[in-house]
Amino acid sequence: MSERLAIVADWGNLSQAECDILRGAAGLSAEQADHMIENAIGTLALPLGLATNFLINGRDYLIPMAVEEPSVLAAVSNAARLFREGGGFYTHSDEPIMIGQIQVLDVPNLERAQQALEAERDFLLREVDSIGGSIVKRGGGARGLEVRVFPQTAIGPMLVVHVLLDTRDAMGANAVNTAVEYLAPHVERLTGGRAHLRILSNLTDQRKAYAEGMIPHASLKTADLSGVEAVRAIVEAAVFAEVDSYRATTHNKGIMNGIDAVVIATGNDWRAVEAGAHAYAARNGRYTSLTRWWQDEDGNLRGSIELPLAVGIVGGATRVHPTAQVAMKILRVGSAMELAQVMAAVGLAQNLAAMRALATEGIQRGHMRMHARQLAVAAGATDDMVRRIAEQMAQEGNIRLERAKELVKIFTSFHQPDSL
């Protein structure tokens, strides 16, 4: 680990204090935690790893990921290596536009209200900008107004006003909520109705990120399958998730294994990202896969992903959490849009890794190897003993806590790793 830390310190130009944060010697203090939430009683640490091999739009990235699940980092780095053999990932994203909602009830005439809002559209957008503050100064601001009508609901007719706000490098929840609360009295005046809820939508479908990439079939060859057969096996796995919601849920969970880990490492709101991703996966009325995979005319594997990703690089925990700040320094992204694109690439790679394992040898072999390491640690093994005991149990096909404990005893009594 110290060797890795030295390399990443060099890469990210990290100070000693920043390295101490990564090592766990410093980091989020109980006092800082007490300022972040109510009734704080402490902090909870997670492993922070680095995903390697990522080549995105011609640039190399080291990607910090915070996750407790074994295999995620190894799998995503391995998948990124395969994409690199096909030229890396190509990504792009929408502008960082968030949606704020105002629910309007008791509207005397829905049609007239809608017309009044549309007639005053420019005025309303100017009003939003007038309180936009730093977001407007940085080039963001109001971008649009939409009116949606629900003539019949259980509580009568309902009108919903959407305010579209470009929040630039911020995730933007506060800016959006402030904007809709500020605008609500104007909306009441124009519609003659009563503004009820005023809150952002986490279905941030105006703020999507896209990634795609190719893997040469030769890179997918296994002991049992030719490259072209492996491509076919992976496409078969992907189509399963396209047609079946039960499979799509697990398939997308695997994608979010990667995306959430970057979202958490960078101090972003992973519940918001999760909510948006799954709602988007169900946008056509049936929950389906967030990715598409196909075989191109040269027999190579191609994949793409598209999902809403409302993440920021300023404000929120990103600026408060010391580890998130170091993670951002390692990642070296220049904008929220770039961060979202990196996350999309990670999601695509994580998905490939899972499907490749599932479509070839199954995932249990790799998982059990990592599980063996966890059991060795739980049995009291330290340092190199962890690896040796895990390997021994894997070789024996006997990966159990009792066996790990026996091996710790044997190992400790002999004091000789090779006696295993």
Question: Is residue 194 a contact point for ligand MEV (CB under 6 A)?
Answer: no
Whole-number Å distance between alpha carbons of 93 and 71: 28
Residues 31-90 that bind ligand MEV (CB under 6 A): 69
Nearest Cα to 148, choosing from 160, 131, 130? Answer: 160
Question: Is residue 250 a contact point for ligand MEV (CB under 6 A)?
Answer: yes
CA distances (Å), 15 to each of 7, 8, 142, in order?
13, 11, 39
Question: Is residue 364 a contact point for ligand MEV (CB under 6 A)?
Answer: no
Question: Is residue 400 a contact point for ligand MEV (CB under 6 A)?
Answer: no
Question: Is residue 239 a contact point for ligand MEV (CB under 6 A)?
Answer: no
What one-character-per-residue DSSP string does 330-363 give?
Answer: HHT--SHHHHHHHHHHHHHHHHHHHHHHHHTT-S
Kindly tell me which residue out of 199, 275, 363, 377 binds ligand MEV, with binding defined by CB under 6 A.
Answer: 363
Assign 3-state DSSP to the chain and report helix, strand, coil percentages, each to 5: 55, 20, 30
Question: Is residue 354 a contact point for ligand MEV (CB under 6 A)?
Answer: yes
Task: Choose one: 164-172, 179-187, 246-254, 386-394; the region binding ligand MEV (CB under 6 A).
Answer: 246-254
Residues with catalytic roles:
69, 253, 269, 367
Shortest spacing between CB 244 and ligand MEV, in angstroms: 12
Whole-number Å distance between alpha carbons of 239 and 206: 26
Whole-number Å distance between alpha carbons of 140 and 202: 19
Whole-number Å distance between alpha carbons of 351 and 370: 19
Q: Which is nearer to ligand MEV, 225 or 358 (CB)?
A: 358
Q: Which is nearer to ligand MEV, 38 or 68 (CB)?
A: 68
Question: Is residue 251 a contact point for ligand MEV (CB under 6 A)?
Answer: yes
Q: Which is nearer to ligand MEV, 251 or 373 (CB)?
A: 251
Question: Is residue 365 a contact point for ligand MEV (CB under 6 A)?
Answer: no
- Give the total of residues touching ligand MEV (CB under 6 A): 9
CA distances (Å), 83 to each of 1, 95, 211, 262, in order?
26, 26, 11, 19
Q: Which is nearer to ligand MEV, 138 or 292 (CB)?
A: 292
Question: Is residue 257 a contact point for ligand MEV (CB under 6 A)?
Answer: yes
Residue whose CB is nearest to ligand MEV in the complex, by number: 254
Question: Is residue 289 a contact point for ligand MEV (CB under 6 A)?
Answer: no
Nearest Cα to 195, choosing from 127, 113, 115? Answer: 113
Count of helices and strands (H, E) across the chain: 17, 10
Whole-number Å distance between alpha carbons of 178 and 212: 36
Q: Which is nearer to ligand MEV, 240 or 411 (CB)?
A: 240
Point out which residues bind ligand MEV (CB under 6 A).
Answer: 69, 250-251, 253-254, 257, 354, 358, 363
